[in-house]
Amino acid sequence: MNPMIEVVYLVKSAPADIAARAEGILLEQAVELPRSVLHDDFVLNHIVGEVRSIVPHTSGEYRVTIAHPAETAGNDPAQLLNVLFGNTSLQPDVLLEDVRLPASVVASLGGPRFGIEGIRKACGVTSGALTSTALKPMGLSVEKLSAICSTFARAGIDLIKDDHGLADHAFCPFEERVRACVDATRRAAQETGRQSLYVPNLIGTPTQVLHQLRFAQGAGVGGVMISPMLLGLPLLREIVESELSVPLLAHPSFGGALRITPEALLGRLFRWFGADAVIYPNYGGRFTYSKETCGRLADLLRQSGDALKPVFPMPAGGIKIERLGETIAFYGSDVMLLIGGSLYEAGEAPDALLERAKLFVAAARK
Contacting a second copy within 226-265 (CB under 8 A):
227, 229-235, 237-238, 241-242, 252-260, 265
* CB closer to a second copy out of 170 and 329: 170
Task: Please list every residue from 296 through 315 that binds a second copy, using CB under 8 A.
Answer: none
Is 287 a binding residue for a second copy by CB under 8 A? The answer is yes
90, 124, 191, 245: residue in contact with a second copy (rule CB under 8 A): 90
Strand partners for 172:
169
Residue 345 CB, shortest distance to a second copy, in Å, is 6
The pattern of x and - marking residues 169 through 188 that bind a second copy according to CB under 8 A reads xxx-----------------
Is 292 a binding residue for a second copy by CB under 8 A? The answer is no
Could you tell me how many residues of this chain bind a second copy (CB under 8 A)?
93
* CB closer to a second copy out of 185 and 293: 293
Beta carbons within 10 angstroms of residue 342's beta carbon: 19
Task: Please list every residue from 53 through 72 that binds a second copy, using CB under 8 A.
Answer: 71-72
Is 82 a binding residue for a second copy by CB under 8 A? The answer is yes
* CB closer to a second copy out of 8 and 116: 8
* CB closer to a second copy out of 286 and 366: 286
Is 344 a binding residue for a second copy by CB under 8 A? The answer is yes
* CB closer to a second copy out of 6 and 163: 163
Task: Please list every residue from 187 through 226 that binds a second copy, using CB under 8 A.
Answer: 203-209
Residue 54 CB, shortest distance to a second copy, in Å, is 19
Would you say 131 and 360 are in contact if contact means Cβ atoms under 8 Å apart?
A: yes
Please state, in angstroms and as integers, the Cα–Cα distance from residue 297 to each residue in 2, 4, 157, 185, following that order. 29, 24, 24, 31
> Quick one: three-class SS letters along the chain?
CCCEEEEEEEEECCCCCHHHHHHHHHHHCCCCCCHHHCCCHHHHHHHCCEEEEEEECCCCEEEEEEEEEHHHHCCCHHHHHHHHHCHHHHCCCEEEEEEECCHHHHHHHCCCCCHHHHHHHHHCCCCCCEEEEEECCCCCCHHHHHHHHHHHHHCCCCEEEECCCCCCECCECHHHHHHHHHHHHHHHHHHHCCCCEEECECCCCHHHHHHHHHHHHHHCCCCEEECHHHHCHHHHHHHHHCCCCCCEEECCCCHHHCCECHHHHHHHHHHHHCCCEEEEECCCCCCCCCHHHHHHHHHHHCCCCCCCCCCEEEEECCCCHHHHHHHHHHHCCCCEEECCHHHHCCCCCCCHHHHHHHHHHHHHHC
Residue 36 CB, shortest distance to a second copy, in Å, is 8
The pattern of x and - marking residues 122 through 161 that bind a second copy according to CB under 8 A reads ------------x-xxxxxx--x-----------------
Is 110 a binding residue for a second copy by CB under 8 A? The answer is no
Residue 19 CB, shortest distance to a second copy, in Å, is 17
Residue 170 CB, shortest distance to a second copy, in Å, is 7
Is 349 a binding residue for a second copy by CB under 8 A? The answer is no
* CB closer to a second copy out of 122 and 249: 249
Candidates 58-66, 98-106, 147-155, 163-171; binding stretch for a second copy (CB under 8 A): 163-171
